[in-house]
Structure 1
Amino acid sequence: MSGALLVCGTHSDAGKSVVVAGICRWLAREGVRVAPFKAQNMALNSFVTREGAEIGRAQAAQAAAARVEPEAAMNPVLLKPSAGERTQVVVLGRPYATASAASYQDMKPELLPVVLGALEGLRRRFEAVVCEGAGSPAEINLRESDLANMGLAQAAGLPVVLVGDIDRGGLFASLYGTLALLSPRDRELVRGFVVNKFRGDAAILAPGLAELSRRTGRPFLGTLPFAPGIGLDGEDSLALREAGEGAPGGDVLRVAVVRLGRMSNFTDLDPLLFEPGVAVRFTRSAAEVLDADLAVVPGTKATVEDLGGLRAAGLDRALAARARRGLPTLGLCGGYQMLGRRIVDGVEGEVPEAEGLGLLPVETVFEPEKVLARPSGRAPLFGDEEVSGYEIHHGRTARLGGEPLFVTREGGGEGCRVGAVLGTSWHGVLECDGFRRALLGWVAGVRGLGWEPGDFSFAALREERLERLGDLVAEHLDRDALLGIMEGAGRREGAGALP
């Protein structure tokens, strides 16, 4: 086959990402060489490709669904909200500019050729490209300079499928209203609807679907059932999940994750959500942080600003009390920097220098060039387990004492440990099953708990979730209609008007 499709949603978190991933996995299983694409993504959860490019974490997961290696062209523009009202603009995997909301709108005309070039390159190399929109295509205040929704569809001749989330209510009004707010020219590109997150009696839903199809002239391509636990890596705080399950006959490890204002790459904690006998809570409560078996200070896109917020909430005192009592604490990337003595930031924040929490003997100096890498090594302090991850940071952190947490493949030291306080610049290390279990076993030992690790592979679990997404598409969407839309022309005569 040869074709492309743009999946839009009535609002953020309607299910665009999972629908794109499901279609990618279904097509890949059918032997189609397929790639995902999102022209413009706003996300603080990002990923580093093998060539050292930064893209949205969801696009990396969609590439895994498509069974291809993620690359910069799959997410040519990534927006990362930073301190104050500023946003870092990442283009083709590299920092490009820092912009306000207004100045970014002025930047879009120069980014459109980059977006279209990336998409065209994918279409030349793959048989199918499944594109994901951003937010809603009915954001009429942004339509003139739109890069990701109907502006992209018009420029690239893409047919559009509109996804609505029935679980939130108001499905029919959302679908009809979105279509009604589009211009007649844009409306012609919308070829059908998909219902997402349905639970209930399909017979009761059917008359509404038929009536909306009659009023709009668009078919429903299928109804995807509510399927908890199979979502992709989240893009923003709307996707935060918490979990906890007691292990049979064992104790529960309580993990408190400090909820920062510009928290980034909180997907680092995803493996803990599936570990039996581990309860994870994202919190701003100093009492909960002090009481937890393991406290985690995650990454952030505004290290100094979030450090100030942490202090204002009294969390600095809770973390200091944990260190005095020998209670395990882990800092990841920006969280690691906060645990140190000093942060010099002339790049991301508005405050040039700040005193850290002083719990680790490290100092961080920010540089304009961002570190983007895929390091690996071992953890000599935790059974010498193999560990790998990825780095995304402007800060260069120097260890002035303590022990390195990891030894790199090249023989260097990375991260720091003093007593029960640990820190690392590497994201994704908890996905390494051996290291994660060794770390949690150490926490249980420090706390005197009878916790037993699980035996699942996180990589296998992620693959199983992608397979389930492919199953949902194969079983609940009209595959022939979907293929026809992808292979046919984007515009359909007579489809623009609404009664």
Structure 2
Amino acid sequence: MTAKTLMIQGTGSGVGKSVLTAAFCRYFYQAGYKVAPFKAQNMALNSFVTENGGEIGRAQAYQAEASGLKPDVLMNPILLKPSEDNNSQVIVMGKPVGSKNAKDFYSRHLQHKKVVTQALDEIKKNYELVIIEGAGSPAEINLKQWDLVNMFIAEKAESPVLIVGDIDKGGVFAWLKGTYDLFSEDEQNRVLGFIINKFRGDIEMLKPGIEQFEKMVGKPVLGVIPYFHDLVVDEEDSIPQRSYFAENKVQNPLNIAVIEIPRIANFTDLSPLALDPNISLQYIQHPSQLRAHDLIILPGSKNTVGDMNYLNQQGMTKEIIKHHKSGSMILGICGGFQMLGRKIKDPDNLESREKEINGLGLFDFETTLVPEKLTRQVQLETVISNVFPERLHCEGYEIHMGRTTFGSIYQALFSELNGENAMNFGITNQNGTVFGTYLHGFLDNDLFRNNILRYIRNEKGLPEPQKLFDYSEFRKRELNRLADLVKTSINMEIIERRLH
């Protein structure tokens, strides 16, 4: 089997390529195709771990879910995870190969070309259709010689290309025309058409511009996608909004504060909380925003030492401790878990320029960053305790370079796995008011999450919601809405005719 391909490129970053790739994946999956996503190179702080322990971009995991598939490293052979302004950890076929600046990364261009083309060839063998996502803009002429992910991969895949522009940013026709004009003749011939994304207003006012544009370029605008305020998708990097409010009818909602750090990573861990209509959740950027929140969450970080230093400089650490003493419970996830200990050490400067920094000291442990990154999926059972009155199944994934050494014994949240110290997976303090875990994705499980929330509500004297949030069903509904968006807004007849 050699798959047909369709590629989604865009006029720039943030115009909707990832979402539309997922939408096309869902559309063709519903139509009965054996479809898979592919992005040769991604840059993101939100990532996912496959069954085999390989790390890929969270967007490709989401697109795999839209396709009815388990994520695979072939879907995203190269991932860049920024740790500083000009430095990124490079992940090749799911495994880290070191931290590189742009010059170092481009010096390995020929090797990277081989990696992405081999991954593309392999994934095409296993599927009927591959939906390929580009990155940034394909018209960055200063970077074209190092292209791995846009027209280079379109040529290798022999793929027709759709160019997406975001009209909400303004100047969409200039953006689309400028991008097209900077293509070579062969590249222009690959363009099947254009898509205008995030339109709001009267479509009749837009039609004259579309007609003029089509005459200029000789290619059709295949769709105008409306701006949807309430469509929920997994985000790659940008936190979509800072405040999520409980529904008006909910009395005494659970109030959660998430500490927003500069190198926040895997904030999609918190989506099941942010989207729960029984919860009000706010991302906190300044100590003055902290109030009497029921729960304070320290999320994952790609530069834990640097972000801990940032919190100290902001005066946030003192405020967190103060509010904890006043009754706020605390949850730390991955890098946030490390921050709860006494000290974080980075002796080889793997993530930051500092060798070590003091943590919040809420747990008696130290964490040392090591070159070997731990990436794995785990399936665990909870330990019976005040938090979990019965055993529950839990699954999640780990992505961290930190190794934690405990100076005291704490109540483990989960049972041990293969003889490993159970405290490595998650602990709580004696009072059951501070929790820490290395697991990502553990809140996706509805039964597990609702048990944790029940415990917190009981401790805070809050009533149980009349209706619990079903996150699994919510995700399915949103994916199907994406497919509907393609059906109703894009001329799929032209696209499908080209694919046959």
The more displaced of 272-281 and 222-231 is: 222-231
From the superposition, tell whether residues 335 and 249 of structure 1 become closer, same or farther in structure 2 (CA, over 3 Å): closer
Q: One-letter code of the match for 1:370?
A: K
Aligned partner of 1:369: which letter?
Answer: E
Q: Secondary structure at the match of 1:25?
A: helix
Alignment pair present for 1:478 and 2:478: no
Measure the CA separation in 2 of the matches of 1:214 and 1:23.
27
Deviation at 1:187, TM superposition (A): 2.3
2:428 corresponding residue in structure 1: 417
Please tell me the residue identity of whatever aligns with 2:449: R
Give 5+ residue unaligned stretches, structure 1.
488-499
Shift of 1:290: 4.6
CA–CA distance in structure 1, aligned partners of residues 251 and 5 of structure 2: 50
Once structures 1 and 2 are overlaid, which stretch shifts more, 401-410 or 206-215? 401-410
Distance 2:250 2:136 in 1: 45
Aligned partner of 2:39 in structure 1 is: 38
In the TM superposition, what is the alpha-carbon distance from 1:286 to its structure 2 partner? Answer: 1.3
> Any idea what SS the aligned residue of 2:142 has?
helix
Matched-pair contact (CA < 8 Å) for 1:376–1:408: no
Question: Which stretch has the larger CA shift, 250-259 or 476-485?
Answer: 476-485
Match in the other structure for 1:434: 447
Aligned counterpart, 2:388 = 382
Q: Deviations over 1:206-242 (max 9, x none)?
A: 1111111110011111122222333431111254553
User: How many angstroms apart in 2 are the aligned matches of 1:112 and 1:62?
Assistant: 23
Q: Please name the residue that 1:448 is paired with.
A: 461
* 1:394 corresponds to: 401
| Contact 2:292/2:328 (8 A) holds in 1 | no
RMSD: 1.9
- For residues 365-406 of structure 1, what are the alpha-carbon distances to aligned partners after superposition, in whole Å with 9 as ceiling and x for unaligned? 222111111112233323333322110001112333321122
State the 1:279 CA deviation. Answer: 1.3
Residues 277 and 469 in structure 2, CA contact (< 8 A), matched pair in contact too: no
Whole-Å separation in 2 of the counterparts to 1:257 and 1:161 = 37
Q: Give the Å deviation of 1:76.
A: 0.4
Give deviations 1:250-278, integer Å, cap 9, x for gaps: 21222111111110000011001221221
1:405 aligns with 2:405: no
Q: After TM superposition, give the deviation of residue 470 of structure 1 in Å.
A: 0.9
- Alpha-carbon spacing, 1:238–1:13, altered in 2? closer, same or farther (3 Å): farther
Unaligned runs of 5+ in 2: none
Per-residue deviation, 1:342: 1.5
Tell me which moved more, 262-271 or 9-18.
9-18
Q: Which moved more, 1:307-316 or 1:475-484?
A: 475-484
Q: 1:241 to 1:174 in 2, by over 3 A?
A: farther
Partner secondary structure for residue 374 of structure 1? strand
Q: Which moved more, 1:138-147 or 1:288-297?
A: 288-297
Distance, in Å, in 2 between the alignment partners of 1:433 and 1:74 is: 27
Name whichever of 138-147 and 32-41 sits farther off: 138-147
CA distance, structure 2, for counterparts of residue 292 and residue 169 of structure 1: 39
Superposition deviation, residue 340 in structure 1: 0.5
Question: Relative contact order (C-alpha < 8 Å, sep 6+): which is higher?
Answer: 1
Q: TM-score, normalised by structure 1?
A: 0.93
* CA contact 2:375–2:397 (8 Å) conserved in 1: yes
Cα deviation 1:313-349 (Å, max 9, x = unaligned) = 1111012113323420110000000110121223322
* Distance across 2 between alignment mates of 1:240 and 1:103: 35
2:355 match: 352
SS at match of 1:445: helix
Superposed, which structure 2 residues align to 1:229-268 within 5 Å? Answer: 229-237=230-238, 239-240=240-241, 242-246=243-247, 248-268=249-269
Please list every run of at least 4 consecutive aligned residues from structure 1 whose deviation after the TM superposition is greater than 4 angstroms. 408-411
Bigger shift: residues 89-98 or 191-200: 191-200
Q: Percent identity?
A: 40
CA distance in 2, matches of 1:8, 1:241: 28
C-alpha displacement of 1:101: 1.7
Given that residues 258 and 289 in structure 1 are in contact (C-alpha distance below 8 angstroms), is that contact kept between their aligned partners in structure 2?
no
**Distance across 2 between alignment mates of 1:76 and 1:249:** 44
Q: Which residue of 2 aligns with 1:291?
A: 292
Q: TM-score with structure 2 length normalisation?
A: 0.93
Q: Distance in 2 between matches of 1:247 and 1:397?
A: 42
Letter in 1 for 2:410: G
Query: Aligned in 2, Cα 1:166/1:174: closer, same or farther, shift over 3 Å?
Result: same
2:474 to 443, 456, 461: 461
The count of aligned residue pairs is 487
Check the 8 A contact 1:327/1:446 in 2, yes or no.
no
2:427 alignment partner AA: C
Does the CA contact (< 8 Å) of 2:36 and 2:129 recur in 1? yes
Measured after TM superposition, the shift of residue 137 of structure 1 is 1.0
Aligned equivalents of 1:443, 1:106: Cα separation in 2: 51
Query: CA, structure 1 residues 125+241, in 2 after alignment: closer, same or farther (shift >3 Å)?
Result: farther
- Identify if the C-alpha distance between structure 1 residues 2 and 436 changes in structure 2 by more than 3 Å, giving closer, same or farther: closer
Check whether the contact 2:165–2:196 (CA below 8 A) recurs between aligned residues.
Answer: yes
Match of 2:203? 202
CA gap 1:326/1:27 in 2 versus in 1, 3 angstroms:
same
Structure 1 residues 372 and 240: CA distance shift in structure 2, 3 A: farther
Q: 2:3 touches 2:126 (CA, 8 Å); kept in 1? A: no
- 1:350–1:340 Cα change, 3 Å: same
1:101-250 counterparts in 2 under 5 A? 101-237=102-238, 239-240=240-241, 242-246=243-247, 248-250=249-251
Q: Distance in 2 between matches of 1:462 and 1:361?
A: 38
User: How is 1:296-311 mapped onto 2 (pairs within 5 angstroms)?
Assistant: 296-311=297-312
